[in-house]
Amino acid sequence: MILVTGGAGFIGSNFVLDWLAENGEPVLNLDALTYAGNLETLETVMDDPRHVFVQGNICDRNLLDGVLEKYRPRAIVHFAAESHVDRSIHGPGEFIHTNIEGTFTLLEAARAYWNMLEGTERESFRFLHVSTDEVYGSLQMDDAPFTEENPYQPNSPYAASKAASDHLARAWFHTYGLPVVTSNCSNNYGPFQFPEKLIPLTIVNAFAGKPLPVYGDGLNVRDWLYVGDHCRALRIVLSQGRPGQTYNVGGENEKTNIDIVRTVCTLLDELWPDDAAGRRDRLITFVTDRPGHDRRYAINAKKIRQELGWRPAETFESGLRKTVQWYLAHPRWVADVQSGAYRDWLAVQYGMANDMM
């Protein structure tokens, strides 16, 4: 059995579903079920005996000790984190608590558990810390993509909290010998992503004929990675990655935000045309840029390609088409996550009236 933290969130739930489909080994899924945690995402495996769900917080040391002692996982895959830059600007405290204090608590619980293991159980144990490219800061347009050797220069409370958690993971390997492997990924997209992020927000609003908010001039650049490719990379890193090493996982698909929004509009116009209202790109609405908005991220994934043989299977075009089709096919899931709290958040963040959402 492996322990997955944050397995009801976007990437975590995709990883759980992918793991059970491709590997079949049982999963202990620990999630606090905050606003972005959604058991409906895991509906197809909730009755699967290979999937054990425990609601709980990674800051709860007694809970962690109890589940580790009871289930004795051979590995921990650590997704649990507050992960939205905009929310970190409005309320950084939760990010410090979960991403730094929570990771510290989990590392300490894992160290105590690992120290009790013997023989091959101890030798084969792994702690996979899943992180982000945002820890590296911002690139100029002519800069080379981030490698694992780039210095950390986080620019948002979210990025700073993840950078701190990366440093903790590194220190627990070098100081205590805990077999930690770290991955830093580029922007993920795909099924089950909470619609506060750019791609699902654009899909959901464009389909409903609502404004499509774009920060600033829309020319901020991100590297986009289909979540299924990320899950496959993590399976490989968990099985073959070297303790103490970091692996950058990127899609090598650099796109501006405005290009992303326009491409989604074009796909929706093709897959679900609105002949009466016209093209969806009419809905694009430029809004005030967010504070400290990093201009560009890009990942150099050469190390994971050369050492572990991973490369993305999806192009951006194929992955985005799959994503748009998934949201069109799952209106109930979308409706269920769009609570009043979600609408209030959009009103605060983008200055949009409730009747526009």
- Kindly give, in sequence order, each residue whose CB lies less than 8 Å from that of residue 34, ignoring residues fewer than 6 positions away: 82
Owner of token pair 């609003």: 205
Question: Which residue of the set 133, 229, 254, 314 is catalytic?
Answer: 133
Strand, helix or coil for residue 22: helix
Give me the long-range contacts of 190-193 (CB less than 8 A, separation at least 24): 190/14, 190/226, 190/227, 190/228, 190/319, 190/322, 190/323, 190/326, 191/14, 191/227, 191/322, 191/323, 191/326, 191/327, 191/330, 192/10, 192/13, 192/14, 192/38, 192/41, 192/333, 193/10, 193/227
Rounded to whole angstroms, the Cα distance separating 233 from 247 reads 10
> Which letter does DSSP use for residue 172 in this model?
H
Catalytic, 269? Answer no
Catalytic site includes residue 307: no
Q: Which of 158, 189, 226, 247 is catalytic?
A: 158
CA atoms within 13 A on the CB side of 22: 14
With both helix axes pointing from N to C terminus, report the angle between 157-176 and 103-116 in degrees, rounded to the nearest 10.
Answer: 20
As a 3-state breakdown, the chain gives helix, strand, coil percent values, each rounded to 5, of 50, 15, 35
Question: Residue type at 195?
Answer: P
Burial 286-310 (b: 16+ CB within 10 A, else e): eeeebeebbebbbbbbebbeeebeb
Q: Per the structure block, which two tokens stand in for 105?
A: 């608590």
Instruction: Note if 143 is an active site residue.
Output: no
Report how far residue 155's alpha carbon sits from residue 38's, in angstroms, rounded to the nearest whole number: 29
DSSP code for 243: T
Amino acid in the structure at residue 118? E
What phi and psi, each to the nearest 5 degrees, are found at residue 329? -85, -5
Instruction: Find the catalytic residue in 82, 86, 134, 294.
Output: 134
The residues annotated with a catalytic role in the active site are 133-134, 158
